[in-house]
Structure 1
Amino acid sequence: MGFQIQSSHPQILFRIPITKPPFSHILPKLQATTMAHNSQDQQPSISMSTLVSPDVYNVRFKTLEACKLGIARYPDFEYNAHGGKGSGMGKKMTGVDFNGETSVDFDVNTLYIPSLTTATTKFLGLPLPPFLKIEIVPEIFRGIINLESGKVDLKFKAKFWFSVGSIYKAPPLLVETLLTSEESKGTLRSGNGKRLDEQGKCRLVGVATVEQIDDFLMNSFLDLPTECLAILNATITFSKD
């Protein structure tokens, strides 16, 4: 199994192994690729010299179906996040000890995560009431993705705005967590993620503590402070275009 970086040039295709030991076993092949790249008779390719120098990629993020959101001891919301998207930049680590880690920073101005509404969310098997809406406004989304192992660790910070039509709008709940492909565990909540596969699909989980806000109704209803859990199915892809 490997993780594939896409390119707008059909001849440029770089496949990084995931399950095999990193880097040392592919050194002879990479050296050979470098020699081929220097030859005018060969098509251009990503070579050893690319690996040991700064390498920047465009990164695209898309949210999928079958996600979940939970808070306090309430049952989880079933959440269809299909249609969410964002873009950012990824910079590969440099040096001969490269182990696949790439720093990624998404532009929150391009990051869209669907709101929880009657069209996207169910609670106890029933759609949310039409007048209830929870809007998600991201503020930070960045971290490290390992292109060899598929491990993902992304810091996520966002404001969650609860509203009931035009009648009521609470101050935002601030949620800050590490969305990871590994295990995330709190006191009340926990979840297990799934690493990137060859198509860039993954499951990211994160447990966060939600503090009280200046709103007696929300503090009482959610029993704040408390924990919340996010389980997000997504795709993350890298390209040179």
Structure 2
Amino acid sequence: MSCKINSLSPPFPCKLCTKKSKFRRRRRSTIFFSFSSEKQENTISTSIEPSTTESYTVSFKTEKGCKLEISRYPDFEYDAEGGIGTGVGAKVTENSTESDLPVSFDLETLYIPPLTSSTTKFLGLPLPPFLKIDIVPQAFQGSINQESGKVDLEFKARFIFSAGSLYKAAPLLVKTVLTSEESKGIVKSGRGKRLDKEGKCRLVGVATVDPIDDFLMNSFLGLPTECLADLKAVISISSSS
């Protein structure tokens, strides 16, 4: 008795690539399963057919008109223009009806502008010159539906508050899914906007920020608390196969 099973494509790797990935045809392989008893011995042969994988290059840019919300404070107006990142995408095309493109961005190319007096306003006024919040990405990956324009990207980063050379807080770990759909927490919520024909979109994500080993920062922000990221971005996808 024999049966033919088409192999499923493996999940896109969580480890972000530092070089362009080369996607190749899978080799044909045959796996044998056997079982035996005192009366008989049977062998089942299963052939795994090769599948074709199409690769893509994905670019990500952030624009003006973004905002950040945290705790009970009013919105921070955030000009994220200049943020950039490059990633890769891969999709198995043979016998596939999936429209989602798994993507993963290279951390070495990913840059999110810090919150400073030149990029951020609070209550209509620039942040004091000595205040700075660096954003250090730890992960950026997910899926993009090229037909519907839906975007879901897992984003994890460390936010580091500093006041000149006098004070530097322990990093705040923020983990959320930046989505073109609705993101809703217990207190905060936001709605994004799907990719248009020019690749423009609005991505939102609610995250819970846990307390850190810093009494001053815990008290100032009222940790644990929720924060909301609201980013205007441009995502471009091109075939590299």
The two structures share one fold, judged by TM-score above 0.5:
yes
Flag the structure with higher strand content: 2
Higher relative contact order (CA 8 A, sep 6+): 1
Question: 1:161-202 CA distances to partner (integer Å, 9 max, x unpaired)?
Answer: 000000000000000000000000001110000000001100
SS in 2 for 1:88: strand
RMSD (Å), alpha carbons: 1.1
How many angstroms apart in 2 are the aligned matches of 1:96 and 1:191?
37
TM-score (norm 2): 0.77
1:221-236 alignment to 2 at 5 Å?
221-236=220-235
Q: Which residue of 2 aligns with 1:159?
A: 158
| Offset, 1:239 | 1.6
1:169-208 alignment to 2 at 5 Å?
169-208=168-207
How many angstroms apart in 1 are the aligned matches of 2:217 and 2:111?
25
SS in 1 for 2:217: helix
Question: 1:104-144 CA distances to partner (integer Å, 9 max, x unpaired)?
Answer: 00001110000000000000100000000000000100001
SS in 2 for 1:235: strand
1:103 aligned to 2:109? no
| Offset, 1:98 | 2.0
SS in 1 for 2:73: coil
- Percent identity, please: 66
1:20-35 alignment to 2 at 5 Å?
none
- Give the number of the structure whose alpha-carbon radius of gyration is greater: 2
Give the residue type in structure 1 aligned to 2:85. G
How many angstroms apart in 2 are the aligned matches of 1:108 and 1:187?
30
Q: Which residue of 2 aligns with 1:138?
A: 137
1:22-101 alignment to 2 at 5 Å?
53-101=52-100
Q: Which residue of 2 aligns with 1:18?
A: none
SS in 2 for 1:139: strand
| Offset, 1:73 | 1.5
How many angstroms apart in 2 are the aligned matches of 1:93 and 1:68?
36
SS in 1 for 2:211: coil
Question: 1:5-59 CA distances to partner (integer Å, 9 max, x unpaired)?
Answer: xxxxxxxxxxxxxxxxxxxxxxxxxxxxxxxxxxxxxxxxxxxxxxx83110111
Counting matched residue pairs gives 190
Give the residue type in structure 2 aligned to 1:56. S
How many angstroms apart in 2 are the aligned matches of 1:122 and 1:55?
43
Flag the structure with higher helix content: 1
Contact preservation (8 Å) 1:60, 1:236: yes
How many angstroms apart in 2 are the aligned matches of 1:166 and 1:173?
19
Moved over 6 A (4+): none
How many angstroms apart in 2 are the aligned matches of 1:147 and 1:98?
12
Q: Give 5+ residue unaligned stretches, structure 1.
A: 1-51
Give the residue type in structure 1 aligned to 2:63. L
1:168 aligned to 2:163? no
Give the residue type in structure 2 aligned to 1:221. F
Contact preservation (8 Å) 1:65, 1:79: yes
SS in 2 for 1:218: helix
Q: Give 5+ residue unaligned stretches, structure 2.
A: 1-50
How many angstroms apart in 2 are the aligned matches of 1:93 and 1:54?
4
How many angstroms apart in 1 are the aligned matches of 2:85 and 2:199?
14
How many angstroms apart in 2 are the aligned matches of 1:166 and 1:156?
29
